[in-house]
């Protein structure tokens, strides 16, 4: 089965009304392939503006959500709220949420369940620290992070999940996993899904690479058989994001 190439942008805690209007105008004028699915993740407060401004063949994502639809949870945002203001996706499990905000594998899995129940699709981030890679436990770490989700979701829910493999040592550092390193982990994730869920889910689930992806380094990785796209940080705040969307051309 041919998996549709997926490119996500993650703006993190960046943006302003003026900057978003300027950037979306450039994105909207760009030429992009029709067979690539594109999603942009923005801070909560800018999701409605982005949903209104962005080209309609691209989708908008929230960068996080809570596990309840509503209630006395000051400062939290529910998946239902994200959907209500125009988001179709949510990014969950990002290493910055795991390491800085101390979110556990189980809490992230609970969020995945709630987001899918609310009708959002999920970009699920997994990845290892530098010391974990150097210790040779990359796959054990990634499998542990995935295992919590496997235990929580139904098999059919995987149709609404894109896995984003993001080695933590490559996020915002300028270091990038080589295409071969990315392919090795992606292939191992697919084998894990085959044994933990099913051969169908393993074959159909898209696995994107994230970690200092830019217009110069994306094309070689895009050719690897198990690299089904990218989750892009800093470069998604620049016009060069269009070059990454066109990486398969």
Q: Which residues pair with 62 in a beta bridge?
A: 42, 90
Confidence of residue 1 (pLDDT cuts 50, 70, 90): low
Regarding beta strands 5-10 and 36-42, do their DSSP bridges make them parallel or antiparallel, or are they unpaired? Answer: parallel
Regarding beta strands 5-10 and 89-92, do their DSSP bridges make them parallel or antiparallel, or are they unpaired? Answer: unpaired
DSSP per position, 69-125: SSSS-TT---HHHHHHTT--EEEE--HHHHHTS---HHHHHHHHHHHHHTT-EEEEE
What's the DSSP call for residue 127? -
Residues with catalytic roles? 94, 166
Q: How far is CA 246 from CA 61, 99, 111, 219, 237, in A?
A: 20, 32, 31, 9, 16
Q: What domains are there in the chain, each with its CATH number?
A: 5-245 (3.20.20.70)
Cα–Cα dist 161/121, whole Å: 6
Tell me the per-residue pLDDT of 18-40, one tens digit each, with 9 for 90 and over.
999 999 999 999 999 999 999 99
Closest by CA to 122, choosing from 161, 163, 157, 71, is 161
The stretch 184-206 carries a mean pLDDT of 98
Are 165 and 207 spatial neighbours (Cβ–Cβ below 8 Å)?
yes
Exposure b/e, 111-125, CB count within 10 A at least 16 = b: bbbbbbebebbbbbb
SS3 of the chain: helix, strand, coil, percent, to 5:
45, 15, 40
Answer yes or no: is pLDDT of 106 > 90.
yes
The stretch 210-218 carries a mean pLDDT of 92
pTM of the shown model: 0.97
Confidence of residue 242 (pLDDT cuts 50, 70, 90): very high
Are 71 and 38 spatial neighbours (Cβ–Cβ below 8 Å)?
no
Residues recorded for the chain: 249
The stretch 179-207 carries a mean pLDDT of 97
């Amino acid at each position: 089965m041919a998996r549709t190439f997926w490119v996500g942008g993650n703006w993190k805690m960046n943006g302003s009304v003026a900057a978003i209007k300027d950037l979306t105008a450039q994105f909207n004028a760009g030429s992009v392939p029709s067979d690539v699915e594109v999603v942009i993740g923005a801070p909560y407060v800018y999701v409605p503006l982005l949903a209104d401004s962005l080209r309609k063949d691209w989708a908008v994502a929230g960068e996080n959500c809570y596990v309840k639809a509503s209630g006395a949870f000051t400062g939290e945002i529910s998946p239902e709220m994200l959907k209500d203001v125009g988001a179709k996706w949510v990014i969950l499990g990002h290493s910055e949420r795991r390491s800085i905000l101390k979110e556990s594998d189980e809490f992230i899995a609970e969020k995945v369940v709630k987001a899918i129940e609310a009708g959002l699709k999920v970009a699920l981030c997994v990845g290892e620290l530098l010391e974990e890679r150097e210790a040779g436990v990359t796959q054990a770490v990634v499998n542990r992070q995935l295992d919590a989700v496997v235990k929580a979701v139904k098999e059919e829910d995987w149709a609404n999940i894109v896995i984003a493999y993001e080695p933590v040592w490559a996020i915002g550092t300028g270091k990038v996993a080589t295409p071969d390193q990315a392919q090795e982990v992606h292939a191992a994730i697919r084998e894990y899904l085959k044994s933990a869920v099913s051969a169908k889910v393993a074959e159909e689930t898209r696995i994107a690479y994230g970690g200092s992806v830019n217009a110069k380094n994306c094309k070689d990785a895009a050719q690897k058989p198990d690299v089904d796209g990218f989750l892009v940080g800093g470069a998604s705040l620049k016009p060069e994001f269009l070059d990454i969307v066109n990486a398969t051309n």
